[in-house]
Structure 1
Amino acid sequence: MAKPRKVSNLLALAVLGTVVQQPMHPYEIASVLRARGKDEDMEIKWGSLYTVVRNLAKHGFIEVVDSRREGARPERTIYGITDVGVAELRDWTRELVATPQPEHPRFKAGLSMLPALPPGEVAAALRERIASLESMIAAQEAEAATEDVPRLFLIENEYELAVRHAELTWVRGLLAELTNETFPGLAAWRHWHATGEIPSEYAELADRGSTE
């Protein structure tokens, strides 16, 4: 079970993972995170960066180690990680790797609403998804083949590629069930959309949780 954290925004984890290498000012932190594509690994709201940095400093995870001014630019505060911050970085990372948490991807949300579409439209949408996944996988594999970076620093990309391969296999299987007429209850589903008459087994589900 995930434990409560004093600064729980995942951007805070990204900041700690950046300043652990060397002290930086917030603008430099943002530049490094963008260059490393961390906004593809986790949801990052760039507008909250300075607030996250201040909160990390407030709770002792990072501290001001220097400040500098370059020309007419405003003075920039340089932050370094503390021992407490290193411990938080390690503990948080360990928790994320070890403890599965409920996640809510958009695809799962769409699948939960699948009865709203007739089978033919679902099949067409799945074909579109398959084409997109195939393109994304090909591009990612081509990029990986040209990367001259130790595997340790690309492991999240490897995971994402494996997940996309698994999703592609599953979506192809679902599409096959729809096209070869082996999906359970397909006839009732199709009849519902053709006539507007909800099958009895669907009606029972619709009544669950009703207070009337």
Structure 2
Amino acid sequence: MPNFKRSPLALAVLALLIEAPMHPYRMQQLLKSRGKEEVINIRQRGSLYQTIERLEREGLIAPGSVEKSEGRPERTVYEATPLGRTVAVDWLRTMLAEPHNEFPEFPVAMSFLPLLSPEEVMPLLETRLTALRKREFELAAELENYLTVLPRVVLLESQYMLAIVSAERNWIEGVIADLRSGRLAWSIEELKTIAAQFEGEQPPRPG
């Protein structure tokens, strides 16, 4: 089987079309109403249409009927091909089994933290902590409400997100505590000295 380019949005499109044939606008509506924008970047409509065009070129989806409504533009209804169904299941199995580095921004910022002083970093982390606590509360409240009416399997992504947010909140609380106590501190001069010692060498990695 060819190595098709996998992406969260491509999997979402295939999953929706396996559920039922539909046009792109309907896909966008369902992704939003089901809260998928929390885990998939669908803010730009162009990204959805580009993904649909690529999946069609690759033979994973195919156009079917055309919906016509008075006062509205024609809308092409797509459906998943047999190959698309196979690829979607293969992608899902891979994404579940194999950890993938998604390169989020926050670890990048932490890797260049010494560009700022500890005094500058602490209020920034406190601002992030406030946002994380708010998000944690919102996710927990949503889950509590939905668990009474929906099966857990459709809420697993929200439970995972809550676990991730809670873990980050807990970790940042520890970093802030260490900054306050002075257990975590640095200076550019000290770091330059350390860097010079390892110039031309690979510095030791933690663990």
TM superposition score normalised by structure 1: 0.82
2:183, 2:135 → 1: CA distance? 29
4+ residue stretches of structure 1 with deviation over 6 A? Answer: none
Q: RMSD across aligned C-alpha pairs, in angstroms?
A: 2.3
- Count the aligned residue pairs: 198
Q: How does 1:101-140 map to 2 (within 5 A)?
A: 101-140=100-139
Within the candidate set 201, 206, 212, 2:194 is matched to 201
Change (3 A) 1:142 1:4: farther
Change (3 A) 1:178 1:48: closer
User: Deviations along 1:28-60, whole A, 9 cap, x unmatched?
Assistant: 111111222222212334213223223222322
Stretches of structure 1 that go unaligned for 5 or more consecutive residues are none
For 2:47, the equivalent position in structure 1 comes to 48
User: Deviations along 1:145-169, whole A, 9 cap, x unmatched?
Assistant: 1123221111111111101111111
Identity %: 35
Q: How does 1:1-212 map to 2 (within 5 A)?
A: 5-44=3-42, 45-147=44-146, 148-183=149-184, 186=185, 189-190=186-187, 192=188, 200-204=193-197, 207-208=199-200
User: Deviations along 1:110-135, whole A, 9 cap, x unmatched?
Assistant: 10111111112222222222222111
| Shift in Å, 1:4 | 7.3
**Alignment partner of 1:144: what SS?**
helix
Change (3 A) 1:4 1:120: farther
| Shift in Å, 1:197 | 7.6
Stretches of structure 2 that go unaligned for 5 or more consecutive residues are 202-207
Supply the AA of the counterpart residue of 1:90: V
1:22, 1:198 → 2: CA distance? 57
Change (3 A) 1:111 1:24: same
**Alignment partner of 1:91: what SS?**
helix
